[in-house]
A and B are shown apart, each in its own frame.
Chain A
Amino acid sequence: MSTYWRTFKTAAWLGWQMDSNWTEPWLFVIYSIVKPVAGAFILIFMYVVIWSINGIPDPHSFAFLYIGNAFFIFVGSTLLGTFQVIQSDREWYQTIRYVYISPISYYVYILGRAFSKIVVSVFAVLITLAFGVFLLGSYGVQMQLSLDRLPLFFVSLALGLFVLLAIGITLGAATFLMARHSQTLAEAVPGVFYVFCGVLFPLTILPSWGQAIGEAIPLTYWFEITRRILLPFQLNTGLAGFDDLEILAFLLVSTVIFFGLSIGVFKLGEYLARRAGKIDMTTSY
């Protein structure tokens, strides 16, 4: 266990250095905030434009998508954090062979590298939420978080982040076998969750098969419970029949399942890559 912990700590520190030491700290802070805030502004102006064209406000839908988008920052950064480790080590720094043969768990190493991205994204989420509450109140963004709901919030947050890491590693295992397209993968895969997990709109807007996909993805339950805790109103998301603890139970069970899946898929990807001689391949086109 101590080896795992040491690997995790060292990888997290390495990830932090690689992410941040290319520039001055203040510039890194701005860099870390500008991207998610700009992403929020896209949604703000989409709402402003459709409101302006049709002349009818829809503050509840806007608050719903704003909160969902703020927490989606975790999804993008965690998935990027896990996807890019294998390919950046393999293709960019060409150090994967040294790390891979060292007596550590490569799985834990990836978890550590991704952890530094999660830490940075916490600030981006907080800033996005604060921006919404303090400056977009007139557009309908409201938030509440009572003390008695805090434990539920933190438990669901921890489970949500853990399942994200598990999903990231499950999919990241595919990058063992892929050419250097992890950037595209990291951009594209969150799109699946963007559409099917009720991040920006209630699941009920999707066709029934789309809703079924959404209900099979753990992140749907994480976004549902987070909004139940934070928003002072509820929209019909198709999950109204379940209470908070049932939603939390779904999240817990699916987290355990995805954790097991991530280990299995990771080992399979690793095995296939070794067999095909792709562990340290470089693709330069």
Chain B
Amino acid sequence: MTAAVARRSDLRFRIGLNLRSIVGRAYPRVIGANREPSWIFFEAVLPLLSIAAYVFIYRTIALNQVAANPVDAPRILANMNALVASVVLGGAMVAFWLNVLWSMASQLYWEKEIGNLQLYMMAPMNRMALLGGMAVGGMFMTSVRAVSTLVAGVVVFGVVFQVANPLMLLAVFFVTLVALYGLGMFFASLYLLWGREAWNLSALMEEPIFFSSGFYFPLGGLYQSGGWGSAVAVLGSIIPAGLGLDALRQLTLGETAFGGKFWVLSAPVELEILVVLAVGFLILARYALAYLETLAKREGKLTSRHQ
């Protein structure tokens, strides 16, 4: 065994190499973002307006309902606050989902287009470390938007969150993120094989997922609609954001919000499912990446651009 081979098979060296790869891949996202200040405006400020639109829909209808039945005003306004808070939480989650779609899933496809992928493939680190670095950098970039959405929710829209179990809340949030980015890694491997379908698939997974995962309304409403609505909700729950949002809403609005009738499952059960999804997606991503890399090489698509 040569010294170089022995060094490469040394566990400490491999762990260090992959950790450096994670930092190295996260670095340009964090630093690149800082070098492009316009990004803050476009990522953090403008998206708030779409969220505001959904907030105003609930406000408009709730105020009309109060006008129709003034006696019931306190209950209607309390429900309105809960729905507005749901939109704000959903808006924060939208930031992560868009990041998963555009900066995780389609990233390897993008790297292929601009000619970086072959360099990554030649580098000695594990591909999962590369994706992990993209995820860490992406989470940082996206947190700015998510935090600004939450702050705007509280300051501008007067949303009141009641957090009774902060540890559980943090656990749900981080497990949801891990599951989401695990799904992103899995998609990234699929996109290695695809050409322009990748871009279009990402575009297709915006509004349909916002709908089926209940980003702007309680997912339980879709579950309870019966028939195709329930089927769509079950499919939407495969995306970790669906159950993650449902649990986050329970933990920040209280289980009695919306009369307690629009929750899918209890928060602890949803956390358990999210853990299973997170582990499952990461394992799936690991094997899919290895398999699809081989397949892409075999079919000559690994570095073929503009298809």
Stretch at the interface among A6-14, A107-115, A177-185, A265-273: A177-185
Q: Pick the contact of A46 from B33, B57, B197, B207 — CB < 8 Å?
A: B57
In the bound complex, CA of A283 to CA of B208 (Å):
29
The stretch that binds B, out of A130-138, A154-162, A193-201, is A193-201
29 contacts between A and B (CB under 8 A): A22-B200, A31-B200, A36-B207, A38-B212, A45-B211, A45-B221, A45-B225, A46-B54, A48-B225, A49-B217, A49-B262, A50-B61, A52-B221, A53-B258, A54-B65, A61-B61, A61-B64, A62-B61, A188-B43, A188-B49, A191-B48, A194-B50, A195-B50, A195-B53, A199-B53, A201-B53, A205-B59, A206-B56, A284-B111
Smallest beta-carbon distance A257→chain B, Å: 23
- Which residues of A have CB within 8 Å of B218? 49
Nearest-CB residue, chain A, relative to B101:
A183
Query: Does A91 interact with chain B (Cβ within 8 Å)?
Result: yes
A56 and B110 alpha carbons, distance in the complex (Å):
49
For A31, give its contact among B49, B204, B210 (CB under 8 Å): B204
Q: Contacts A53-B259, A61-B61; is A191 near B49 (CB within 8 Å)?
A: yes
**Are B42 and A184 interface neighbours, CB within 8 A?**
yes
Nearest-neighbour CB distance to chain A for B255, whole angstroms, equals 15
What total of A-B pairs shows CB separation below 8 Å? 166
Contacts of B225 in A (CB 8 A): 45, 48
State whether the Cβ of B16 lies closer than 8 Å to any Cβ in chain A.
Answer: no
Query: Count the B residues whose beta carbon is within 8 Å of the partner chain — how many?
Result: 68
Query: Within 8 Å CB of A45, what residues of B?
Result: 211, 214, 217, 221-222, 225
Binding site for B on A (CB under 8 A): 22-23, 31, 34-36, 38-39, 41-43, 45-54, 56, 58, 61-62, 65, 91-93, 178-179, 181, 183-185, 187-192, 194-195, 199-202, 205-206, 282-285
Please report the C-alpha to C-alpha distance between residue A48 and residue B53 in the assembled complex, in whole angstroms: 17
- Asked if B23 lies at the interface with its beta carbon under 8 angstroms from chain A, I say no
In-complex Cβ contact of B196 among A22, A189, A191 (8 A): A22
Give the top 6 A-B pairs by smallest Cβ distance, nearest first. Answer: A188-B46, A191-B49, A285-B32, A191-B50, A285-B28, A38-B208
On whether A284 and B116 interact (CB within 8 A), knowing A54-B62, A201-B57, A206-B56, the answer reads yes
| A42 close to B61 (CB less than 8 A) | no
Closest to A185 in B: B42
* Bound-state Cα–Cα, A171 to B297, Å: 41
Interface centre among B60, B69, B79, B306 (most CB of A within 10 A): B60
| 0/1 interface trace, chain B 6-49, chain A, CB 8 Å (1 if under) | 00000000000000000000001101110010110011001111
B72 at the interface (CB under 8 A from A): yes
Residues of A contacting B196 with CB < 8 Å?
Answer: 22
**Is the contact region of chain B dominated by helix, strand, or loop, or is it mixed?**
helix
Whether the Cβ atoms of B98 and A202 lie closer than 8 Å is: no
Find the B residue at minimum CB distance from A92. B113
Q: Which residues of B contact A46 (CB under 8 A)?
A: 54, 57-58, 83, 216-217
Q: Given the complex of chains A and B, what is the CA–CA distance between A52 and B80 in angstroms?
A: 12
A38 contacts B207, C-beta separation under 8 Å: yes
- In the bound complex, CA of A65 to CA of B68 (Å): 19
User: Across the interface, do A56 and B217 meet the contact criterion of CB distance under 8 Å?
Assistant: no
Please measure, in the bound complex, the distance between the C-alpha atom of A16 and the C-alpha atom of B237, giving whole angstroms. Answer: 35
Question: Which residue among B33, B54, B113, B211 has the maximum number of chain A CB atoms within 10 Å of its CB?
Answer: B211
- Say yes or no for B52: interface residue by CB 8 A criterion: yes
Which of B57, B68, B206, B210 interacts with A200 by CB under 8 Å? Answer: B57
